Amino acid sequence: MEIYSVKILFKYEIEDSDRAIYEESLRLFYAESLDEAFDKAKKMAMEEEWEYINVYAGKVKYRFYENTEAFRLFDDLEFEDGL
């Protein structure tokens, strides 16, 4: 297996607002291919989605937006997927 770095883009949406905030996150994955790394990243990102009520009583949704980039990295690094 090879190691890939995947850039995941998350989006904060605020209820009744046109504003949105984006957050980039770089994650490492063991995968057999670039496509598998993208798939693993998307699955992990969707499991991290959540909602909360902000201090102004508006609902904020934190959602997976897209995987934007991926790169093959080293072969001898030890880690857990997504960390």
Q: Tens digits of per-residue pLDDT, 14-34?
A: 988 888 899 999 999 989 999
CA distance 5 to 83: 10
Torsion of CA 69, 74, 75, 77, to 10 degrees: -110
Q: CA–CA separation, 38 vs 55, rounded Å?
A: 35
Q: What is the pLDDT of residue 76?
A: 65
Tell whether the model's pLDDT for residue 41 goes beyond 80: yes
**Average pLDDT of span 33-42:** 94
Predicted local distance difference test score (pLDDT) of residue 73: 84
